[in-house]
Structure 1
C-alpha cells in the first residue's frame, strides 16, 4: 500500500521516515560546537523516534570544526586542499559530537560519509539504500555527510541540502526537513519590508526559483536558498515532501511541526524508483539540444529521437547521463543515452531509416528511450 502524500507540516512530523538536515551555522559558532543547542535538537529527535519515526540526520560542520582546530583562515574554504584537510580533522570531531549527543538518549549514531558518485552510480546507490535500511532496522540513527576530504570541485554535491534530498530517495524517506537561519521561503529577500513567508509550494516553478538567493548568509556553509530549492525539486520528483524551517530557535522541530511555521514543498507524484533516481542525479556529462517539436513530444512522454536533435555537446559514452535542452537553453529532461557523442553527431537530425548508413549498423529505437528519460 502506497503511503498518502504529505500535505502539511504536521503530517511531515508524523512521517514514518524523516531526513533532518543541520547546517554548519547552526551547529558551529566561532569554531566551537553549539552543544546546548544540539542537546535540545537531539531531545526532539529522540521524541520523534519514540513516536515511531525513523530519523536520518544529514549534518554539516566538519569543515568548520576542522578549520578551527587547524587555525585555517576563512573557515577552511580558501582552497580545495584546505577544505579537504579541514574536513579530515573535523569529521572526527563531528562524529564524536553526534555520538555523544544521541548516546545521551540511548540512541546509536552510525556515521555515513558519501560522495556524489555513491549516489550517481546505480549499483552504489542501491548499496547505500541497503545500508540505510539495515541501520534503521537495527535502531541506529544514520548521520550522513559528504566526504569532503576526497571530494573534488568537479565531482561533489557542493551543499548538504541536495545531499539530504538524495539521501531521502536512497533511504525511502517520506519527508525532508532542512533547518535554516530563516523561517522558510519568502517572496523576496526576508530583510526587505513587506516580505511574505510562503507556507506551501505546489511544484518548484521558474517563478519560485526567481525568489531564491544563491548565497549563504552565515559564510560557513555552501548552500543558500537556491540550493534548497534545487533540493526541493529533487525531492518533489521522487514523491517526497520537503520543508524549510528556522533552526536558530531552541525547539525547531516543534516550532515547525506543531506551530506550522515554515515552507512545505508538496511532493509531486513521480514515476518508478528508477526514474526518481534518474531525476535526482546531479552530474550529466553532455547536453543534447532539441527542436520545438521534439520538446513538445518529450513533454507528452515520448522517447528522444535523433530527428529532433539540433546540437550535441560533451564527450559521453553509451549509458552516460546527459541533459536535454530546448533551443533557448532551458533544461527539459535528462536520461541515459543509447549512443556515444560521436554517434550522436553522426545521426543528428536524421530519421531512423537514414541512420544505419551513418552508423554502420542497425540503429536503436531511440537516442534516449522514455523508460530511461525523466522530464524535468
Structure 2
C-alpha cells in the first residue's frame, strides 16, 4: 500500500513461441494521503463495513484510473491496446492451509472510463476458484522469463509479503510466499514515537542489533513449516501480531534494534527457502530492494548463492509487478491461461480475470494458437536481446501495447 505501480510494455509473439517484452517505462504514484490512511485502517484485525468497502473500491478505482492515464500519456505516447490490473489486496482468506477467497479493490470501470481502454482485472480469483492460492501469480511470468536456464533460479519479490518463484534446472517450478517482506518492518516504524511510514533505506535498522529472543519467537511461526504451495498476507503479519510477540519478551527491543530484528526475520526466512529449493541465483524486485540493510542481510544469508536485482535481467526492480499485470492481461486477452498450476496449486491452467470494455465495442484478437514457451526482455528500438542464455529465434507479428 505504499503506492500505485504503473508499467507499460510492448509485446510481440514469435512463431517459435518466444514472447518479446519491450519495457516502455514505469512510474510509482503515491496514494492520496486520506485514501492510504483509510486502506491501512481497514486491514485486519479491524472491521470493514459495506459502506467502507464500497468507498475504498471506488476510491482505489479512481486512483488507478488517474495512474493508468498518466502511464498511457507519459510512457506510451497515448497509444495502448489494453490495461491489466492486479488491484489492491485488502484481504486474502487462507484457512487450514487452503485459500478460500481473496479480495482486491480497485473497480476497473474507473480505469476503463479514464483511459478508454479495455481492462483485465480481478486476476487472482479464478485461480482460487480452481483450487489454487491465487498468489503469488508471478509463477508463469518467472518460468517464461528465467525458467529456460540450467541453473536453479529464485525470482524474489520483496513487497509487504515476500514471495519466490523457483524455476530452471531439472526440477518442476515452485512459487509461494515465504513470509513477511516489508509488512512487519512498516508496522514497526508506525509504532515508533516518530510514527514514520517506513525506515527509508533501512537506515535505522543499520544502527541496531537483532534481538535473539524476539527473533526466535518470530521464527517459530508455524507458517514457515508448511509445505508449498502456500500463501499468506498482511492479515496475518499485523501490528497486533508484532505486539503479541513483543509481549513474550522480558526486555523487548525498541527502535533500531526492533527494526534490525525484523530485517533479520525477512532475510532468514527468504534465505532458508531459497536454500531449501537449491537456488544458486536470486533475482530480487519490489520495494524492499531499496532497503540497503535488508539487501545486505539477504546477501549474507544467501551466500554462496548470488543476489542480483531484476534490472540485471532487463526489468526495473520497481516495475516487475506492473509488467506482471501487463503480461497477465495480455494472456487473457489472447485466450491463454495466466496461472501455472505447479506454483499456485490450482487443478489446471486457467485464463485469469474479467474484462471490462473500453469506450468502444470490445474486439478481442484472434486467440494465439499456442502458449508462449519463453519470455525475452529487449531494450530500445534495436531489439537488443536480454540476458536469456539462449537464442530465442526471430520475433514476428504486430506488437501489442499493454499497461499494468
Asked whether the two chains share a fold, i.e. TM above 0.5, the reply is no
Q: Which has the larger radius of gyration?
A: 1
TM-score under structure 1 length normalisation: 0.28
